[in-house]
Structure 1
Amino acid sequence: MKKVLHKAGSRGAAHHGWLKSFHTFSFADYHDPKRMNFGVLRVINEDRVTGGQGFGKHPHRDMEIISIPLSGALEHKDSMGNGSVIRRGDIQVMSAGTGVTHSEYNASRDELVHFLQIWVFSRRQGVTPRYQQMSIADGARKDEFQQILSPNADDAGVWIHQDAWFNWGDLSAGVERSYQLHGSDNGVYFFVISGQVEVAGEQLSSSDGLGVWETKEVSVKALSDAVVLTMEVPMHLPEYLFH
């Protein structure tokens, strides 16, 4: 088993008045050659946007972009004609593929929106752009890992063009669970939404992250009531990135 630990305070940070953003991996003006990605997991940004503000229209290609609100309301618009508002308990995914532009704004004038934006490299270039959102609260299971994303359209949660599985774990203090990986070439990244947990022997608190690979399973123990996001991804980057 191999591990990489990213404590919350070690992340890159950007403060623009209307935006407070923390970057687990290199992003924008934050660059650390040792923190470029975890396998095909390229970006984990924890963003807080003030009322009425947000990210204007901007383009993406060949990236799977996942948004998970933690509080407040996030308004999405894109060049495919989609428009929606998502809140805690929802997940949104956009496959950029051949190219798409989108904007993400705080849907409220006076309430902060707090959300995670996660980027995963697509399995292949040039897929048809698509958008999907759903409520993950509907299938919520206390003290279990609830699948919220997979590679399969007919499986639980949203789907993306990558062999990735995300789970939401709402765990009571003292609960112990084992996360079983789907593939031997995969790793799993744990991001703590709230509370304190012990993962693979490492104590983690809110906004800490731990990547684990070269293992078939990982032990997770809630040291307090806690919420954990697991992101299992291939550790090898797609070949098109090297062409």
Structure 2
Amino acid sequence: MKLIDKIDSLNSDDIKVVFKELVKDYFSPAFGSISKRDLDILLFIKLQKLKLISENPEIYELISELRVTRAKARSLLYESKLRQSTTKQLDEELIEIITNPIFLKDNDKIGLEIGNPYLIDYIKDKLKKINHITDGSFSPELIKLTPEAFEALFESYVPNESKTEILKILISIGAKEDTTLKGALKGMFKKLGSKIADKVGEEIGENIVDYLSLFFKKDGISKIEDKFKGIF
């Protein structure tokens, strides 16, 4: 169902609330003072609030539903995220993404598919702070990291209180390259990449989130050994 057709199914009370908000914003600081660009962004945010547009839409969804250019769709998504996203929300979104990496050919790069253009800038800044860079030349939505950059990013999101226990577990199942967590993760991802490249690892590749999300869940750490020991 097209966006314009969904409007008829909206709850009238929800429309009233959003319309009031829209009018108040349009009058701030004076009637008609808002620019066309800001009005577009405001309307876009209200459409999301009414759930006519999803919270994290794909670029093509916006192109199709709003009948705008790719550049316009990216701009709307970027600006809406800029105005609404908190650091906590960006970190949570990024953790979801790094638990579903793409091991590229020859394992020389690891890709992250990111539909949120504002998050791409956020991740670049995050990597810069830990002395790594990204390669965004492949496509606007797929950024490529060296294994070292991905490992550093992944390690930076592992809860500090869990790092010692996770390191002991990884070393016990043969993941170590040195005695640091970053080194243990390096060995783990090297094995994962090799496994996924083979047909034997297709199941792992299809369910990679089930493996990597354990590192960020309090009740997941105890499951890491059983889940990963077959990989080494």
TM-score band by shorter chain is: under 0.3
In proportion to residue count, which structure has more strand?
1
Tell me which of the two structures has the higher relative contact order, counting C-alpha pairs closer than 8 angstroms and 6 or more residues apart: 1
In proportion to residue count, which structure has more helix?
2
Which structure is larger by alpha-carbon Rg, 1 or 2? 2
Which TM-score applies when normalising by structure 2?
0.26
Which TM-score applies when normalising by structure 1?
0.25
